[in-house]
Amino acid sequence: MVATFRPRTAILFLGDVFFFTLALWLTLYLRSFVLPTGEQFLLHLFPFSLLFAVWVGIFFIAGLYESRYIILARRALSEALMVAQVINVCIAALFFFFIPLFVIAPKTILFIYLIVSFFSVLFWRGWLFPMFRREREQAVMVGEGTEAKELSVAFRDAHRAPVIIVESLNPSTPGLSERIKKATIEHHARFVIADFDHPAVSAAFPELYNLVVRGVRFMDLPAVYEEVFGRVPLSRVDSRWVARNVSSSAHVLYDTLKRIIDIAVSTVLGPVSLILYPFIIFAIKVEDGGPAIISMPRVGEGGRPFSFYKFRSMSGNDKGEYGVDGTTKLRVTRVGRFLRAGRLDELPQLWNVLRGNLSLIGPRPEFPPLVALYEKEIPYYSLRHLIKPGLSGSAQLYYHGDPHHMADVEATRMKFSYDLFYLKHRSLTLDLSIILKTVRRLLIKSNS
């Protein structure tokens, strides 16, 4: 729905730029508690305006212009903004350090600006921006099944959402086209969210042309569902869906650029992470004397197995062999609990990234025995092996029921729906967005 509600996004964008600028003026004032002159302000505004363009890009990458973030509650919004602004100020510090082309060197005000800009933009997005919203747009939904019900509930409960479902129609209803026309007139609805794949809906379209002429906009229910929830409903996945949405040849340039980024990042972070190795190894050895770094079998791209490295966080080496109840007898150690909180146990996987077994972003790889089980129980599960697995991914960010060190078919179905969303929509922009959100998640965990 991002494209549908562009005026709201434009207002949000202009407000962000205005409050970035206002925060700069306030920062100059707070530095010495003297009103900045016009000359001083303009002297700072030119280099900072270049940064504003980059910062808006970071906001875009972080998803802060997506419909899901536009309707965020203030607490969740503050977390997203803080991470984005920390990254923005770090970019500013590098900008003024490596590009000394300007008269100013505002390193001393960047910390002040971080605080002021955070609260300024939070005030804009959390309090002022909601005042600009009009009455929620009326929408008629034409669909059936779980997806339609979930969407209806999501729009009902999200009070800052731009639309509300005022009537839901079953596609099998006799005289469907007339019912749709009647509902749009009665409720003054400007949107119809319909299941385009349903035969009855397709058959009704020729009779609904006048609604389009009147300005009623039609939206595909599965597409709206994907955007709102960030996952593909598995009930929609069949051979036609695969043929329509899965294509390896269309991503050759993306795969090449992604591999270059993987090599660059792992080449830098891999050696840097070695600083922590002695301390982590020492802590693991002191606790139980067992091996510190372990190798675990996982299934990668193309269904090929590979050795997956990590610091041991359990009482033994989990190889994916579970009991009848689907659980393991191994337990998480005290050191392991600490390592997992900051994902420090995954540092050795940077070498997997460098070797090419793993990417920074992608579906998390599973144990071979679990893959064999899930491929029997979950249709098209092998699709996730069309792309390289990753250190982090959509499922890890958005699904909190991720089965960890256990076999759980139902939880894995949900996880797989997020993997399919990534498979369908993968891009460098989506990857960067996931990276930023992963950083945010780690910062939140470290502060909790």
Please say if the pLDDT value at position 159 is more than 80: no
Domain endpoint, select from 100, 132, 164: 132
pLDDT for residue 323 is more than 60: no
Tell me, yes or no, whether 365 and 330 share the same domain.
yes
Taking residues 364-388, what's their average pLDDT? 93
Q: Are strands 137-142 and 191-194 parallel, antiparallel or unpaired?
A: parallel
Do 254 and 359 belong together in one domain? yes
Distances (CA, A) of 107 to 54, 93, 100, 417: 18, 7, 12, 45
Whether residues 161 and 110 fall in one domain? no
pLDDT computed for residue 101 by the predictor: 58
Res 3 pLDDT > 50: no
Residue 199 domain-assigned (yes or no):
yes
Q: What value does the mean pLDDT take over residues 122-138?
A: 76
Picking from 104-113, 248-257, 371-380, which range would have the lowest pLDDT averaged per residue? 104-113
Last residue of a domain, one of 111, 132, 153: 132
Do 152 and 123 lie in a common domain?
no
Whether 298 and 395 share a structural domain: yes
pLDDT tens track for 410-433: 889 999 999 999 999 888 878 877
Q: Does 234 map to a domain?
A: no
Task: Report residue 69 CA to chain centroid gap.
Answer: 10
Total tally of structural domains belonging to the chain: 3
Q: In this predicted structure, what is the pLDDT of residue 75?
A: 47
Question: Domain limits at 383?
Answer: 249-447
Structure tokens that stand for 31 in this block: 């530095």
Residue 4, classed as helix, strand or coil, is coil
> What confidence score (pLDDT) does residue 73 get?
44
Q: Is the pLDDT of residue 225 over 80?
A: yes
Pairing label, strands 217-220, 163-169: unpaired
Same domain, yes or no: 281 and 363: yes
pLDDT in tens, 167-217: 899 998 888 999 999 999 999 888 899 998 889 988 888 888 888 888 888
Are 34 and 114 in the same domain?
A: yes
pLDDT of residue 360: 94
* 244 in any annotated domain: no
Measured distance CA(35)–CA(48) in Å, rounded: 19
Q: Which of 79-83, 170-174, 203-207, 288-292 has the lowest mean pLDDT?
A: 79-83
Looking at 229, 263, 279, which one is the last position of a domain?
229
**Is residue 360 within 8 Å of residue 431, measured between CB atoms?**
yes
Domain presence at residue 62: yes
**Domain shared by 144 and 225, yes or no:** yes
Q: Kindly indicate the confidence band of residue 66, based on its pLDDT and cuts at 50, 70 and 90.
A: low
Say whether both 296 and 433 belong to one domain. yes
Identify the top-confidence range among 104-108, 327-331, 370-374. Answer: 370-374
Q: How far is CA 152 from CA 95, 155, 169, in A?
A: 46, 5, 12
Mean model confidence pLDDT for the chain:
82
In the predicted model, is pLDDT for residue 447 greater than 60?
no
Question: What pLDDT was estimated at residue 71?
Answer: 46
Residues 20/116, Cβ–Cβ less than 8 Å: no
The verdict on residue 45 lying in a domain is yes
**What integer pLDDT is reported at residue 327 of this predicted model?**
60
Q: What is the pLDDT of residue 311?
A: 92
- How confident is the model at residue 2, as a pLDDT? 34
The per-residue pLDDT for 347 is 93
Is residue 141 predicted with pLDDT exceeding 60? Answer: yes
Residue 406 — pLDDT band, cuts 50, 70, 90?
low
Shared domain check, 314 and 428: yes
Q: Which CATH number fits the domain that encloses residue 216? A: 3.40.50.10700
Evaluate if residue 155 carries a pLDDT over 60: yes
CA distance 194 to 142: 4
Across 391-406, b (16+ Cβ under 10 Å) vs e yields bbbbbbbbbeebbeee
Q: What is the pLDDT of residue 246?
A: 83
Confidence class for position 5, pLDDT limits 50, 70, 90: very low
215 and 337 housed in the same domain? no
pLDDT band at 32 (very low <50, low <70, confident <90, very high): confident
**% of the chain at pLDDT higher than 70:** 82
Flag the least confident range among 143-157, 223-237, 298-312, 394-408.
Answer: 394-408
Sheet holding 163-169, edge to edge: 163-169, 137-142, 191-194, 217-220
Joined tokens for residue 323: 């009991």
Q: CA–CA separation, 71 vs 322, rounded Å?
A: 42
Percentage of the chain exceeding pLDDT 90: 29
In a domain, 437, yes or no: yes
Instruction: Give me the pLDDT at residue 418, please.
Output: 93
Whether residue 278 is predicted with pLDDT greater than 90 in this model: the reply is: yes
Contact predicate 122/77, CB 8 Å: yes
